Structure 1
């Protein structure tokens, strides 16, 4: 279907259709489908390619990520911008956690910003479901090394 919208395609890697790889991809799609908030990337759809036997996740195109903007000498964030981005980040995280989703990889390159200043949390590859009423141990080995506490 032609809509005229610019989108971003993210190729989902399959390691020879290994059961763990398929399970990982299915969890990611289930998580993305559960989330619907202005400050969280929205899964617009799925596209398959018969030629390459690939699956692509379709998202709204976002012009920037926070890490790229912060690294640019031409960009200086104002205090109101920082407050606005923090508010949007916390609002998106609250939505995720209210729906039983832990992102587990919040970092600048996973925080997308469009030209209108709207901030969205992206990349739910390490995300998992959780139930605050069920106490079960979680792994302590999931993190991006640079951001480890």
Structure 2
């Protein structure tokens, strides 16, 4: 909680939940964080019967999400748990990134090992599933790309039950890395999770009916392309 408070005090942006204050309980000795009230979360709205987001709404929510993330990343903060239930929305359509319990401070030019056991499974990027401890803002952008596709599809696009199943769902949709990537990969779980047969990328075909602009499509493809190139 101390780390979360430190991070929240560093951030000040319309699309990031602002820490309003702290309250302690003399009875239980507990410490409570006080935030402004938001009526909804994105996952709850998406799961409401009869609710289907328009293209304009999706653009609006994604723009706010990416602006909030840009502020976080420019201030040396990785959220590491971007998902619908952590994106709060008020009745005026304002979106704010919440729940920085898994967030951490990072310095782009300073190597420091980070845990790979972060990000809710359905939104976890392949490098974390493979055990990488050297990563940056791309982990939040992968999650954002998953949310973009989820808003158009009306459901999570890769709901894996285990880490192995999650990684193979990614491979089946985005294609598996080349043989050259596996040979030079030094990630801890590369040998364990390598598929027995290579998968072709079917992402464009799967989402061909989505009204995506080239920039929006690149958001969905950015992390996948990076892994294909073996970076």
TM-score (normalizing by structure 1): 0.81
Question: Shift in Å at residue 37 of structure 1?
Answer: 0.2
Correspondence 1:89 to 2:89: no
- Write the distance in 2 (CA, Å) between the matches of 1:75 and 1:115: 15
- Whichever structure has more helix as a proportion of its residues is 2
1:38-77 correspondence to structure 2 within 5 Å: 38-77=14-53
Unaligned runs of at least 5 residues, structure 2: 126-231
Greater Cα radius of gyration, structure 1 or 2? 2
The aligned counterpart of 1:112 is 88
Higher relative contact order (CA 8 A, sep 6+): 1
The aligned counterpart of 1:145 is 121
Question: Shift in Å at residue 147 of structure 1?
Answer: 2.1
Question: Shift in Å at residue 31 of structure 1?
Answer: 0.3
Question: Shift in Å at residue 140 of structure 1?
Answer: 1.7
Correspondence 1:35 to 2:6: no
1:93-104 correspondence to structure 2 within 5 Å: 93-104=69-80
- Write the distance in 1 (CA, Å) between the matches of 2:38 and 2:50: 19
- Write the distance in 1 (CA, Å) between the matches of 2:14 and 2:84: 18
Return structure 1 stretches of 4+ with deviation > 3 angstroms.
none
For residue 30 of structure 1, give the secondary structure of its aligned residue in structure 2. helix
- Write the distance in 1 (CA, Å) between the matches of 2:114 and 2:33: 27
- Whichever structure has more strand as a proportion of its residues is 1
TM-score (normalizing by structure 2): 0.53
Unaligned runs of at least 5 residues, structure 1: 1-24
- Write the distance in 2 (CA, Å) between the matches of 1:34 and 1:54: 23
Could you say what the CA RMSD is over the residues aligned between the two structures, in angstroms? Answer: 0.9
- Write the distance in 1 (CA, Å) between the matches of 2:124 and 2:110: 25
